Structures are given as structure tokens and as C-alpha cells.
Amino acid sequence: MKRIGLLTSGGDCQALNATMRGVVKGLANNVKDLEVYGFMDGYKGLIYSDFRMLTSRDFSGILTRGGTILGTSRQPFKQMRTPDANGLDKVEAMKHTYHKLRLDCLVILGGNGTQKTANLLREEGLNVLHLPKTIDNDIYGTDMTFGFYSAVNIAANTIDCIHTTASSHNRVFIVELMGHRAGWLTLYAGIASGADIILIPEIPYSLEHVIEAVERRRERGSGFTILAVAEGAIPADIAAMSKKEMKKAMAQITEEYPSISYKIAADIQKATGMEIRVTVPGHMQRGGSPCPYDRILSTRLGSECAQLILDEEYGYMVGLDGTEVKKVPLGEVAGKLKNVDPECQEIIDAKRMGISFGD
């Protein structure tokens, strides 16, 4: 007999349903009586005891379905210790729900912030397991997060489409991709679709070098240039400022422009006189059906998570290490971000081929 809780928290992404299916199918075949409680809209459901019991029917046919059957919401970790509007202690409320339902384990699907709260619940004595979800691939302790490759597919497909129109019109195109703090998605989509310039948060760019790269292509007879730009791309001069000044400088930009990409577009246009267009696929990147890579990863993470529950091993994130799924102590990874190392092999590979990072 096992009683488990499931919740999905933070920005949604592909393969959340596939992962939950993995957990539940992995248990259902190995446990006599299984009760699965699905908490609605992330930690909110746990706090306010909003849940429904899930049966195997709920997990049938959801391997390929995007979104999450449980709904999700953003519950900032910072506010977890703050009482809600009615004075409710959220952490106590979550513990209360957990104990009331006599759960054996709470399986939590989410990104960095979600992971921190999961770790907090672990410290509070609950049995938790965390499954690393995010299109950003920025979770420390796992080589890969589910959602990432589905988002790479959408982002790369966007650049592919832009490629044909850019080359027909001899234009400069900026494709702005998701990623405020980590550049994995932009880096991978940029390499996958042959972007000429890739700007990511981890490598502050010099506008001068970006313009040089555009000009160099024009001189060589390539009429068009494609830039893959992360939402969190940052000019080197601003990156060198103090945190306070940096915030101010970035705020100034977003006051004037919808996003950093539009500022870069304006600057390049001014410097080169070329026609520039900006495309922002936006939330599309976290939607739609998960790609087979993510479905396999999610299924395996979910199934291994089930084994941990069977073995009563709690307090871990279930991550990927090379080709193997491994458990990682939550206490060792919570709160850490996995950023792109500017000296990593992917960057060196890309630079060798002439891709500019604006540095």
C-alpha cells in the first residue's frame, strides 16, 4: 500500500504529464494498493488542500499531451515563509495536508524555485522527491531537464522558418528565445538551426562586435544574418556595473523597448542601415506535445522515481547523468543554478565554426 501526492509547480512545460504517467505506471505495476492524490495548481493545492484522487484512467493517453492535467501556478520560494492574506502559515498548511492524507511521499515536478520549496519540505520532515522540469535546462545536478528538447525543437523550427524568409529578402532577423538567466535554449536552438550570432546571459555582448559580425557577413556576400538572442542577453558595459546600477540600466531599456532584442535591432539598424525584423515566439516554446526525446527522458525519470518510492528512498532529485538516471540529494543541489560555462565545449565548437557570441 502506497499513498503518494503529485504536484506540478512553476511555469508549465512539455512532458509534465508524461513524467507523472511514468511515476504512476511504475508504481501501479508493483504495489498492491496505490492511492494517488493530485494537488491542483502547484503548491497552492497542497497549501489549501485542493486535490483530487487520480486513477489509472487519468494517466491513459497523456504521454503525448502538453501542459499539465493538474494545473500549475508560480509560488515564489521567498514568500513560502510569509503567511498568506488570511494569516495562514503556508508551510504548516502544506505539512498539515501531507499528514492528513497520510502520504508516503510527495512527488514534485518543477524548476529551480520549486526545488527550493521541495527541499524546505524535506527539511521539515516530509518525504519528497523532485523531478527536474524546465525548458531552460538550468537545474544543477542533472545533465538534462524534461521540456528542454521540446522547446529546442520549437525554437529551432522558428529559426528555420525565419531562415527562408531572411534569405529571400536579404534581411537581418533577430529571434528572441526564452531564458532570462540561462542561455542553454538559445545556444542549442542557435546551433541547431545555423544562427550566425548567438547572445546569451552568460556571455555579455559588445554591440560593436555584434555589428562587426553583421558587417562581416555582408562583406562576404551573405545578404542576411540571423541572431538568436536570449531574453536575458546583456550588454557587456551594463554587465560590468554594480547590481543596483545594472538593474537601473536594464529597466531603462525595457521602458523604451518591448525587450532587449528590440534595442539590439534598433542599434544594428542605426549602425548598418540594414532592414531588421524581430520575432518573438514567446510562450509557444513551452507548449504543445512533448518530443520523443522528452517523452523517453520523462518516462525514465518517472519510472526511476517510482523505484525510489518502492525502496522508500526520499529527499532526492531524480536526474540524468550521461545516459543513466541517478538520484541526487536535494540538499546538495537546491538553490544552485546550472549556467552555460562560457568556456564549455558547445561554445568552443560553435566559435570554431565562426558563430559570434558578441564577446
Binders of its own copies in range 24-53 (CB under 8 A): 25-26, 28-30, 41
Where do we find the cell 541547431?
192
Cβ(68)–Cβ(8) below 8 Å? yes
Instruction: Provide, rounded to whole angstroms, the least separation between the CB of residue 128 and its own copies.
Output: 21
Q: Counting contacts by CB under 8 A, is residue 194 touching its own copies? A: yes
- DSSP letters for 203-238: SPBPHHHHHHHHHHHHHTT---EEEEEETT--BHHH
Instruction: Provide, rounded to whole angstroms, the least separation between the CB of residue 239 and its own copies.
Output: 26
Q: Cα angle vertex 228, ends 222, 233, to 5°?
A: 130
- Tell which one of 133, 217, 263, 295 touches its own copies (CB under 8 A): 295
- Give the Cα separation of 274 and 260 in Å (integer): 18
- Give the Cα separation of 329 and 336 in Å (integer): 13
Sheet holding 172-177, edge to edge: 172-177, 225-230, 197-199
Bridge partners for 128 per DSSP? 106
Instruction: Provide, rounded to whole angstroms, the least separation between the CB of residue 189 and its own copies.
Output: 7
Q: Which H or E run includes 2?
A: strand 2-8
Binding mask 330-359 for its own copies (x = CB under 8 A): ---------------xx--xx-xxx-----
Q: Cα angle vertex 18, ends 3, 161, to 5°?
A: 160
- Tell which one of 6, 12, 34, 107 touches its own copies (CB under 8 A): 12
Neighbour tally for 305: CB within 10 Å: 28
Q: Counting contacts by CB under 8 A, is residue 292 touching its own copies? A: yes
Binders of its own copies in range 157-176 (CB under 8 A): 157-158, 160-165, 167-170, 173
Strands 2-8 and 34-39, bridge-based pairing? parallel
Query: What is the total count of residues that contact its own copies (CB under 8 A)?
Result: 85
- Tell which one of 282, 329, 331, 335 touches its own copies (CB under 8 A): 282
By beta-carbon proximity to its own copies, the closer residue of 49 and 307 is 307
By beta-carbon proximity to its own copies, the closer residue of 55 and 125 is 55
Q: Counting contacts by CB under 8 A, is residue 87 touching its own copies? A: no
Instruction: Provide, rounded to whole angstroms, the least separation between the CB of residue 11 and its own copies.
Output: 8
Q: Counting contacts by CB under 8 A, is residue 152 touching its own copies? A: yes
Which residues are marked as active site?
136
